[in-house]
């Protein structure tokens, strides 16, 4: 029984050690993300992306860290890297409408308008109440001289009346058209 007691003590020790390491990693990822957000507010996207890369290694399934890292790359004009990062989470259940918005804007900057439009439509299908996605799709269509853009802004107003950019773009549209 002495050996089994020692074995139990070892098991408890290593379990405790494992959980404390996990807690430290999780805490440090959160701390890294907070520090990175502070850098982003100061327009220091290089340092922000360095911290966010470390945070994403510690917590690879953390959607918020992934979105922040993708945005940091966006603001650094490293659109390919940002898209590579955000694509990893688009098909996950936890992906939200912001993930689609970020990815779409990265496609837009890369001038991949067909992929961008497909992505916004996929996002709207998954999040039909997202005024931001309707607005982004409308802006993309308007930039392509597609007058169907007004339909997106009107749907955005209908489905998410609190999102103001759809009103703004619809007003601009109606100001320059005969309607």
Q: Which band of pLDDT confidence, cut at 50, 70 and 90, is reported for residue 177?
A: confident
pLDDT at residue 129 tops 70: yes
Share of the chain residues as helix, strand and coil, in percent rounded to the nearest 5: 80, 0, 20
Contact status, residue 172 vs residue 135, Cβ threshold 8 Å? no
Nearest CA to 89 out of 63, 115, 59 is that of 63
At 23 the pLDDT is 41
pTM above 0.75, yes or no: yes
* Segment 137-162, tens digit of pLDDT: 999 999 999 999 999 999 999 999 99
Q: Which band of pLDDT confidence, cut at 50, 70 and 90, is reported for residue 178?
A: confident
Six-digit token string for 86: 């955000």
Nearest CA to 61 out of 25, 97, 88 is that of 88
């Amino acid at each position: 029984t002495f050996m089994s007691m020692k074995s139990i003590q070892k098991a408890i020790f290593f379990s405790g050690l494992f959980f404390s390491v996990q807690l430290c990693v999780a805490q440090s990822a959160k701390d890294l993300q907070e520090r990175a957000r502070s850098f982003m507010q100061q327009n220091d996207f290089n340092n922000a992306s360095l911290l966010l890369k470390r945070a994403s290694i510690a917590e690879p399934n953390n959607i918020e860290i992934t979105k922040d890292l993708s945005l940091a790359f966006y603001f650094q004009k490293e659109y390919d890297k940002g898209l590579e990062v955000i694509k990893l989470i688009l098909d996950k259940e936890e992906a939200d409408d912001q993930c689609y918005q970020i990815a779409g804007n990265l496609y837009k900057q890369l001038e991949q308008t067909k992929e961008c439009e497909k992505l916004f439509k996929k996002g709207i299908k998954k999040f039909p109440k997202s005024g931001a996605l309707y607005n982004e799709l409308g802006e993309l269509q308007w930039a392509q001289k597609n007058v169907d853009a007004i339909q997106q802004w009107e749907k955005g107003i209908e489905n998410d009346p609190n999102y103001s950019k759809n009103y703004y773009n619809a007003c601009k549209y109606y100001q320059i058209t005969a309607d």
